[in-house]
């Protein structure tokens, strides 16, 4: 089959690789019909999340069930499914306690410690040997383990593009808003107007937020947030400017909830200087720091942007003085996806209006370039195998 293969830093190509096979009774093989490139795929491409051998990337995908193992009774050949990005067993302590993304069975390299290069949380598709060594879905076919727990059958009448983002970015944006404990009327400031930042904005409105603001370095992404999620927008010039604007919008106090939908990517230039993530321990978490300043006292900072390395200047004094609640993690997609599928089906939310590029899988390497370099006003790329 054809698949997008990561070889080494800044080197991906569409290659012929072996077709996946059923390996365990709870496996299914899915013929991929749509898959997307995610900002976190770029962390692998850039080497910030290291991967030392070839691997098929892609954790946002959907398709048609081709074959199921003997242990999968809820799916059959021909079913059309969307697949959550975390690989989760459905039976362990964490899967039973609303934390499928912390599954303790799916990742052979997982463990309790959450170290820099060791003992990560639950596995994810196409997300390096640190996260379970599973090939991903930017491919014609993909093996889905624990297929009786992850994949969701897509109701008739919904197109691929209407539901594809239930695999990651909508549940991830929803998690960010959910952790913000939005009850109604809150001002929610979302740092980042990429796909996840826009999905967080849509989620905040659905939960009853009073004002939703996206902040970004790129005007075209803010334009997309305004158009797709009806956000107010702030073009980031510097931290002080953004913090002052948010305070001026909130009687001087700051936002009730700040969402970090950027993560360590904001410190890319610093990371690039460090070359490898392993020795990188200096600097400040820029966006997280801005969130802690822009949030009101007693407010919540919710983080879905990825942080993969330690920082030695974390502003713990500000967090303590202001009484801020801080939450962040890989989103537990499985606990949200059914409710979110229903919102899509009922027309309460539209997800596909952020797609700017549609390309065949054969052009995936080129698609990575466009997305990485933010060329051609690229917000989200969907690949068709
Ligand atoms: Zn993703
Ligand atoms: Zn589990």
pLDDT at residue 24 tops 90: yes
pLDDT at residue 282 tops 70: no
**What does pTM read for this prediction?**
0.95
> Distance, CA 10 to ligand 1 centroid (Å)?
18
Q: Give the count of beta carbons closer than 10 Å to the beta carbon of residue 8.
A: 12
Nearest ligand by distance to the CA of 97: 2
Rounded to an integer, the average pLDDT of 308-315 is: 80
pLDDT at 153: 98
Element housing 120 (H / E): none
Per-residue pLDDT tens for 1-11?
999 999 999 99
Q: Give the count of beta carbons closer than 10 Å to the beta carbon of residue 318.
A: 13
pLDDT at 330: 95
pLDDT at residue 123 tops 50: yes
CB 100 within 8 A of CB 31: no
Per-residue pLDDT tens for 179-216?
999 999 999 999 999 999 999 999 999 999 999 999 99
> Distance, CA 87 to ligand 2 centroid (Å)?
8
pLDDT at 263: 80
Q: Rounded CA gap, 338 and 206, in Å?
A: 15
Nearest ligand by distance to the CA of 371: 1
* Structure confidence at residue 308 as a pLDDT band (50, 70, 90): confident
CB 172 within 8 A of CB 36: no
3-state secondary structure of 242: helix
3-state secondary structure of 216: strand
Among 148, 140, 175, 157, which residue's Cα sits nearest to residue 61? 140
What DSSP character marks residue 18?
A: P
> Distance, CA 39 to ligand 1 centroid (Å)?
6
Q: Rounded CA gap, 109 and 119, in Å?
A: 6
> Distance, CA 195 to ligand 1 centroid (Å)?
9
> Distance, CA 159 to ligand 2 centroid (Å)?
30
Rounded to an integer, the average pLDDT of 358-372 is: 97
> Distance, CA 297 to ligand 1 centroid (Å)?
31
CA-atom Rg of the chain in angstroms: 20
Per-residue pLDDT tens for 41-100?
998 998 888 899 999 999 999 999 999 999 999 999 999 999 999 999 999 999 999 999
Rounded to an integer, the average pLDDT of 303-308 is: 89
The phi, psi pair for 164, rounded to 5°, reads -55, -35
> Distance, CA 186 to ligand 2 centroid (Å)?
34
Beta bridge partners of 60: 36
Q: Give the count of beta carbons closer than 10 Å to the beta carbon of residue 350.
A: 13
Among 3, 16, 304, which residue's Cα sits nearest to residue 125? 3
Nearest ligand by distance to the CA of 98: 2
Q: Rounded CA gap, 69 and 76, in Å?
A: 10
> Distance, CA 136 to ligand 2 centroid (Å)?
19
pLDDT at residue 276 tops 70: no
* Structure confidence at residue 369 as a pLDDT band (50, 70, 90): very high
Per-residue pLDDT tens for 324-333?
999 999 999 9
CB 62 within 8 A of CB 33: yes
Per-residue pLDDT tens for 283-296?
567 899 999 999 99
Residues with CB under 5 A from ligand 1 (ion): 38, 168
Nearest ligand by distance to the CA of 149: 2
325: exposed, middle or buried (C-beta count within 10 Å: 0-12, 13-18, 19+)?
middle
The percent helix, strand, coil of the chain (3-state, each to 5) is 35, 25, 45
Q: Rounded CA gap, 345 and 332, in Å?
A: 21
CB 107 within 8 A of CB 336: no
pLDDT at residue 357 tops 50: yes
pLDDT at residue 270 tops 70: no
Q: Give the count of beta carbons closer than 10 Å to the beta carbon of residue 203.
A: 30
Cα-based distances in Å from 355 to 117, 177, 249, 351, 358: 33, 22, 30, 9, 8
pLDDT at 266: 56
Least confident of 73-82, 292-301, 311-320: 311-320
Strand 325-328 relative to strand 295-303: parallel, antiparallel, unpaired? parallel
More confident residue, 283 or 254: 254
């Amino acid at each position: 089959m054809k698949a997008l293969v990561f070889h080494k830093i800044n080197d991906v190509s569409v290659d012929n690789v072996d077709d996946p096979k059923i390996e365990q009774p709870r496996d299914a093989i899915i013929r991929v019909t749509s898959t997307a490139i995610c900002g976190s795929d770029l962390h692998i491409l850039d080497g910030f999340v290291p991967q030392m051998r070839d691997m098929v990337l892609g954790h946002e995908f959907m398709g048609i069930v081709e074959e199921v193992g003997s242990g999968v009774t809820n799916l059959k050949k021909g079913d059309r499914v969307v697949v959550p990005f975390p690989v989760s067993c459905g039976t362990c302590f964490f899967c039973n306690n609303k934390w499928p993304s912390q599954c303790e069975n799916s990742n052979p390299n997982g463990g309790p410690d959450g170290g820099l290069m060791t003992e990560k949380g639950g596995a994810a598709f196409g997300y390096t040997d640190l996260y379970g060594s599973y090939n991903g879905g930017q491919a014609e076919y993909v093996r889905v383990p624990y297929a009786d727990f992850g994949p969701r059958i897509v109701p008739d009448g919904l197109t691929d593009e209407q539901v594809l983002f239930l695999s990651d970015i909508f549940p991830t944006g929803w998690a960010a808003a959910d952790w913000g404990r939005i009850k109604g009327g809150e001002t929610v400031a979302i740092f980042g107007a990429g796909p996840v930042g826009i999905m967080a904005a849509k989620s905040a409105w659905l939960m009853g937020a009073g004002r939703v603001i996206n902040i970004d370095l790129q005007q075209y992404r803010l334009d997309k947030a305004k158009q797709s999620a009806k956000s107010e927008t702030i073009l980031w010039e510097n931290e002080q400017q953004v913090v002052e604007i948010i305070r001026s919008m909130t009687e001087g106090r700051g936002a009730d909830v700040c969402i970090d939908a950027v993560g360590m990517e904001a410190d890319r230039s610093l990371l690039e200087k460090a070359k490898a993530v392993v020795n990188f321990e200096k600097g400040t978490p820029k966006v997280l720091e801005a969130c802690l300043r822009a949030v009101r006292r007693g407010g919540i900072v919710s983080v879905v942007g990825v942080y993969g390395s330690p920082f030695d200047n974390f502003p713990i004094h500000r967090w303590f003085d202001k009484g801020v609640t801080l939450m962040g993690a890989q989103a537990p997609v499985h606990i949200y996806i059914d409710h979110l599928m229903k919102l899509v089906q009922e027309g309460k939310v539209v997800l596909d209006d952020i797609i700017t590029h549609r390309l065949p899988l054969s052009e995936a390497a080129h698609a990575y370039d466009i997305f990485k370099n933010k060329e051609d006003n690229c917000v989200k790329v969907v690949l068709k195998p």
